[in-house]
Amino acid sequence: MSPTPPDGAPLPPAIEVAALRRTYDVKPRPVVALDGVDLEVAPGEFFGLLGPNGAGKTTLIKILTTLLLPSAGTARIFGFDVATDTRRIRRIMNMVAGGEQSGYGILTVREQLWMFSQFYGLGTREGWRRVDALVEAVGLGEQRLQRVSTLSTGQRQKMNMARGLLNDPWILFLDEPTLGLDVSAARSIREQVLAWKAEIPGRTVLLTTHYMAEADELCERIAIVDRGRILAIGTPAELKRRVQRDSIFRLAVDRLDGGPAALARLPGVVSAALASDHAPDAQHVAVNLVLREDAALGGVVTALARMGSQIRSLGKSEPTLEDVFVALVGRGLADEADDTAPLPPSEADDDLAAAHAPSHDAEAGR
Amino acid sequence: MAVTAGGIGDSRRVEGLGLADTARHAWAALLLGWRVESNWADPVLFAIYTVIRPVSSMLLLTMMVAIVGGSADASSRTFVILGSALWAMLVSGLAGPAWSVLEDRERYRTLKYLYTSGATLLVLLVGRGGSRLLIGAMGSLVAILVAVALLGLRIDPAAVDWPLLLAAMLLGLPPVLALGIGLAAVCLQTRQESWNYPDAFSGAMFLVSGVVFPLAVLPRPLEALGLLNPVTWWVAGVRRAIIPGGPSSIGGAGSLWTAVTGTDAPGPAVILGALFLTGAVTTLVATALFRGSERRARDQGLLDRTTGS
């Protein structure tokens, strides 16, 4: 069921982005974090931005949540311009970021959430009522009178999630919400988001993640982002069909001199990338191989023997979002550390901007 | 209407902020500041920052005056005691908004959530600064009580000019907070080293506010700067109200004030008028500075920048 505003008029897109560009003026040269992004998300959609660290996902979320101004282009949230209609946008959206320890440690969970309820404009009593309901909903009932500083990482993120729902947003921005959480806590966060969204038609979620399985599980549509550009948009099934015509194998070898790049150069190999679940300290090297046809496998096996690698396991697999990502980007998420290709001057990302920004690590004091 | 009322697309949800919303935001920020800054959970910390520090400063300055001044009379001592006691409040008001920016951004990592909450950042910082001002006022009060008990400070409640004291406080505290907002505007642009800015700025203000010595002892340009400083008039007003007829930091032999006006010291009406004028200008300039800084911070992506604290 699609949402309809009280006056019956059709709703504008939840997110409408056109030719969005963001440059950071850092030395030695400006860094382009977003390079002409076009995107439209309908009300009620669960939309995912999938990409490696530094792809530009967080920059896009910062612009959409009015934390950052775009350098060029336009972005609208339910028809409101992020550059000029900030007050309206802030009343209908909220955001939750992962991988951070935010909060006033001296306050209790209840106090902290109530303070925010006041900043979101709820009345005193309504604030308490809503805080108590959300604390229970996210499973922090037992910790509600506990100081924020005593919460575990997972509990803090649950509290953060409750804060993100306090103002009952029309659109919720989730920036890597399960980053750094254990399996159980991450599942709990995902379930909360899904349950919240299902309650009322029209609630929209924009999720950024570099966890392929999370994007696959949650998102109705996904945009694959790399180096400030959207490379592909579609449902998970549509995206997977893009590589359906190729043969996909999962290969494990005892060692791989030259890394996956050594395989990617072989005839008939579309791409080769370390599997995202590959552990650096594992006793074998796990590689996802995309071949033009099954026959190319013979050449790969021969090459491996020549390189002195022993095959531990080899199996054909159904395409995953990871395969789509590798096919589009030319490398896997786990390959980032090995990615030695220099970035063109016009392509850059958040990490680059951060790396170029001066750092001051002196201990704060007063 | 309640912020959560109305379905998706209900235009009532995006109506502008009313006065009640702004008041709620300021009040919540004040409460938040009180809970966070007052360190109630750690009485030792609270005592150090709120009581021991201002009392120690006051005792130190009074001893210095006694030693250096030798025969300094009781009125000179009273002048220093009141000035240094008020200083605790002033420093808190100046530092409050700036430290709120730094703490919320670097330590608590909440500034981005506050900024996107719908509340106006300026209002939130005024609320947070207000809580520090209250805490500073407690320190000032304790320092004055200590001075009465230990240093022989005599305050006759019947002689206090209460209307002047009230007016000086009402007119003086907004520009003190405004100076703090101006400092917050600077800290919004800078990084961790700006933890020291409030203390550095307070030190500079100490020189040109007539807190422990009359402005007349300063070089003329600094004396003129002191006369344009609302803090000077605030301190002078409070002093005049508590100890009517006591020495003034503004006029006197050889002072710029006396040279220009031909009067020995400004009267209560002049003090309040000057406080109002300099305070209004300071508040307008600080607000404009903060708006510009906020805009630049959003443009440069500084609102959620952390530098590793």
Selecting from A66, A104, A203 the residue whose C-beta is nearest the C-beta of B116 gives A66
Q: A199 at the B interface (CB within 8 A)? A: no
Taking alpha carbons only, the member of B182, B190, B175, B130 closest to residue B290 is B182
Tell me what the mean pLDDT of segment A286-304 comes to: 88
Contacts of A91 (CB under 8 A, 6+ apart): A121, A167, B3, B13, B14, B118
Contact A68 B298 (CB under 8 A): yes
Q: Work out the angle between the directed axes of helices B121-150 and B53-69 (0-180°, nearest 10).
A: 50
Look at residue A265 and give its three-state secondary structure: coil
Residue A280 has pLDDT above 70, yes or no: no
Separation of alpha carbons A83 and A347, rounded Å: 24
The shortest CB-CB distance from B118 to any of A90, A97, A168 is to A90
**Spatial CB neighbours of A353, under 8 Å, sequence gap ≥ 6:** A24, A26, A31, A33, B301
The residues spanned by each domain of chain B are 19-300
Tens-digit pLDDT profile for residues A119-169: 998 989 999 999 999 999 999 999 999 999 999 999 999 999 999 999 999
pLDDT in tens, A57-71: 999 999 999 999 999
pLDDT in tens, B145-158: 888 888 888 888 89
* Angle made by CA atoms A57, A152, B99, in degrees to the nearest 5: 70
For chain A, which residues make up each domain, given as ranges? 15-239, 242-339
For residue B186, give every residue at least 6 positions away whose Cβ sits within 8 Å of its Cβ, in sequence order, or none: B98, B194, B197, B293
Two tokens, residue B296: 């630049």
Flag whether residue B18 sits within 8 Å of chain A, measured between CB atoms.
Answer: no
Residues A323-338: tens digit of each pLDDT? 888 888 877 766 553 3
- Cβ atoms within 10 Å, residue A84: 9
CA–CA dist A36, A320 (Å, integer): 27
B179-192 residue pLDDT tens:
999 999 999 998 76
pLDDT at B162: 95
Q: What is the pLDDT of residues B17-71, one digit of tens each?
A: 788 889 999 999 999 998 887 765 567 777 777 777 778 877 777 777 777 665 5
B53 shares contact with chain A (CB less than 8 Å): no
A208's tokens: 């950024």
Contacts of A175 in chain B (CB under 8 A): none
* Closest residue of chain B to A90, computed from CA coordinates: B118
Q: Is B243 in CB contact (< 8 Å) with chain A?
A: no
Residue A335 is predicted with a pLDDT of 59
Residues in chain B within 8 Å Cβ distance of A119: 25, 28-29, 114, 117-119, 124
Helix B19-37 and helix A109-119, axial crossing angle in degrees, nearest 10: 150
B35 touches chain A (CB under 8 A): yes
Question: Could you tell me which CATH number the domain at A15-239 has?
Answer: 3.40.50.300
Residue A364 distance to chain B (closest CA, Å): 6
Return the CATH number of the domain spanning residue range A242-339.
3.30.70
Chain B residues 282-301 within an 8 A CB cutoff of chain A: 298-301
Q: Which residue of B has its CA nearest to A11?
A: B9
Tally of CB atoms within 10 A around B200: 11
Instruction: State the Cα torsion B146-B148-B152-B153 to the nearest 10°.
Output: 120
Per-residue pLDDT for chain B (309 aa), expressed as one digit of tens each? 445 556 787 777 777 678 888 999 999 999 999 888 776 556 777 777 777 777 887 777 777 777 766 555 777 778 888 888 888 888 888 889 998 999 899 889 999 999 999 899 999 999 999 998 988 888 888 888 888 888 888 888 899 999 999 999 999 999 999 999 999 999 999 876 677 788 788 888 888 998 888 899 899 999 999 999 999 999 999 999 998 888 888 988 888 999 999 888 899 999 999 999 999 999 999 999 999 999 999 999 999 887 754
Residues A51 and A322: their CA atoms lie apart, in Å, by 10
Q: What is the pLDDT of chain A when averaged over all its residues?
A: 85
